[in-house]
Structure 1
Amino acid sequence: MTSVAVVGTGLLGTAITKRLLEKGFEVHVWNRNPARLADLQELGAHAIQELHGAAQGRQAVITVLRDGAVTANVIHALGPIHGSTVMPMGTMGITEIRSLAEQVQHQNGHCLEAPVLGSKPQALKGELLVMAGGEPALFDQQRPLLEHLSQEPMLVGPIGSGAATKLALNQLIASLTHAFSLSLRLVQQAGVHVETFMAILRPSALYAPTFDKKLQRMLEGHYDDPNFSTALLRKDLHLFLEEATAAGLQIQGLQGLDALLEQSSGSQLDDLDYCALHELTQESF
């Protein structure tokens, strides 16, 4: 039986663990709060009591943690990785993942970045979009594992390319949601029925499926039960801007959205679905 570790059992990490257990893997799990492992243990997962040495005997150590700094600290705590492959699936910066890959090498392990697009529903069904970065031979070695989580995992290039791809996609999440929110508010204030607007938008080249996915939430102000929070979207947009600046790109057009999202910092919107940024596009917020 193939043995893997999942480090970080939040929304996505829990769903990944459940999927791997369902597919017959031996899964060892860790969370900073051990109480959050109880449900997974009932399903057959093994709790990691001590991080040091937890990579031994594991084909892969999948990390699903908040950011690059936390990931680096937790991986450091593993100690010797004994040739296992560390696969970070959370969103990180390009510089951060390259630094982590060097760290993993010093700990006698391998690193294959594997950030994903999708959350709990896609993970449970094995339909995450995996954008891996690393050595082709290492990707081929881990492909059978990744294929339980993704219908078609893709190797997009060397270490850092996966992070770049994920940040580019998350920037689109922020920009598309913001653009849709502004358009929606303008047509409503002008007295245009929302369905009339959508009937024109849907068959056009301007349409994105995410518009309909978030439409009712925006209209009803219902942002509970998030798969991706406003706070995480703001974090990832910050990361994108940092990397874009380092690459010499013109970021002025995005700085306004970054400042807008900063208004939600520390507010009740932080823990809600990211489309709660719709509340920020009205003057009264």
Structure 2
Amino acid sequence: MKVTLLGLGLMGLPVAHRLIQRGHEVKAWNRSESRLQMAQSEGITVTGNLTDAVSDTEVILLTLSDAEAIGSVLFSDEVVSRLGGKTVLQMGTISPDQSRELADRVQQSGADYLEVPVLGSIPEAMSGELIVMAGGSEEVYHHCLLLLRGLGKEVDLVGGVGQAAAMKLAMNQLIAALTVGFAQSLGLIRAEGVEVEHFMKLLRESALYAPTFDKKLQKYLEHDYSKANFPLKHLIKDIGLFKQVAESSGMNGEVADATLSILNSGQQAGYGDEDYSALYEAINPGFDAETDIGC
């Protein structure tokens, strides 16, 4: 397929590489020149011109940060008049209502729309092991299935437009909840001088264990949150969306409020661009990597 990828952020670049590996003809666009130059140096065909990007393509794949960015690019004068007959795949994390609004506008422009948020990050994108959650019509889903299977080890049609977006927000809420819970428990273990490995051994043997605990453990022990595959600032955006959607559905938003407070404390402490596990520092302030007991 001829694919135009709009957005060369953390996920856009590895997704572009993966699609090329799978035999698709890819052209990428990005607002910032530096990311275009990086992609070009890695062998990806790029353009800084939106009209050129979308003119001769079958699929427009959006890997943009939020609904505002998506709207400003997709419905710009350069793009919107050229959507007819194309398929728009929307990969970003947005709310169900935002996705439904996008779908309506895309379809009014004569194009098909499928939301395809993913679970996983840069390593999974590079190896084609993302979990792809699709929302939209079965016809559009099956039309794009071969392309999506090149990106994901699991490609699941969740339901209509908005339902995959809801699934993605539910998953990201779990990312925050699990990370906050583990960071708090680990903080107590370290504060009391209990051996961390003793704690982990028992935890791994219990029904409470989640693999993400071991994936993030070394970051906590070393207080090193660099090389972020999913920055804290992005998780803040997603939990804010989850809170809005939950409250509009009549759910109690107090848990999301408390989580957001912790995440925002981490960002205020300078960890916004670091890995989201840096929320550990907001929960357990004052630990020093050299004097910390129980490691």
* TM-score band w.r.t. shorter chain: over 0.9
Note the residue ranges of structure 2 that are not aligned, 5 or more in a row.
288-295
Task: Check conservation: 1:21, 1:44, Cα contact below 8 A.
Answer: no
Could you tell me how far apart the structure 1 residues matched to 2:268 and 2:280 are?
17
The equivalent of 2:44 in structure 1 is 45
CA offsets 1:212-269 (integer angstroms, 9 cap, x no match) = 0000101110100000001001110000000000111112123111112122335420
CA offsets 1:145-166 (integer angstroms, 9 cap, x no match) = 0011012211000000111000
Could you tell me how far apart the structure 2 residues matched to 1:220 and 1:41 are?
35
Number of paired residues? Answer: 284
Task: Check conservation: 2:15, 2:151, Cα contact below 8 A.
Answer: yes
Map 1:59-70 → 2, pairs under 5 A: 59-70=58-69
The one-letter code sitting in structure 1 at the alignment partner of 2:132 is V
Map 1:193-212 → 2, pairs under 5 A: 193-212=195-214
Could you tell me how far apart the structure 2 residues matched to 1:224 and 1:44 are?
26
CA drift of 1:198 comes to: 0.7
Indicate which of 254, 257, 260 corresponds to 2:256.
254
| 3-state SS, counterpart of residue 41 of structure 1 | helix
CA drift of 1:24 comes to: 1.8
1:102 lines up with 2:104 in the alignment:
yes
Could you tell me how far apart the structure 2 residues matched to 1:189 and 1:266 are?
24
Task: Check conservation: 2:86, 2:111, Cα contact below 8 A.
Answer: yes
Task: Check conservation: 1:130, 1:152, Cα contact below 8 A.
Answer: yes
Could you tell me how far apart the structure 2 residues matched to 1:23 and 1:256 are?
43
The equivalent of 2:154 in structure 1 is 152
Map 1:23-102 → 2, pairs under 5 A: 23-52=22-51, 54-77=53-76, 78-80=79-81, 81-102=83-104
User: Normalising to structure 2: TM-score of the pair?
Assistant: 0.92
Task: Check conservation: 1:52, 1:79, Cα contact below 8 A.
Answer: no
Task: Check conservation: 1:53, 1:79, Cα contact below 8 A.
Answer: no
CA drift of 1:273 comes to: 0.3
Could you tell me how far apart the structure 1 residues matched to 2:44 and 2:192 are?
55
| The 10-residue stretch of structure 1 (42-51 or 128-137) with the greater mean CA deviation from structure 2 | 42-51
The one-letter code sitting in structure 1 at the alignment partner of 2:284 is Q
Task: Check conservation: 1:56, 1:84, Cα contact below 8 A.
Answer: no
The one-letter code sitting in structure 1 at the alignment partner of 2:47 is I
The equivalent of 2:5 in structure 1 is 6
CA offsets 1:166-204 (integer angstroms, 9 cap, x no match) = 000000000100000000011221221111111110011
Note the residue ranges of structure 1 that are not aligned, 5 or more in a row.
none
Aligned-residue identity in percent:
40
Could you tell me how far apart the structure 1 residues matched to 2:204 and 2:42 are?
42
CA drift of 1:283 comes to: 4.2
CA drift of 1:110 comes to: 1.0
CA drift of 1:38 comes to: 2.4
Could you tell me how far apart the structure 2 residues matched to 1:243 and 1:30 are?
31
User: Normalising to structure 1: TM-score of the pair?
Assistant: 0.95
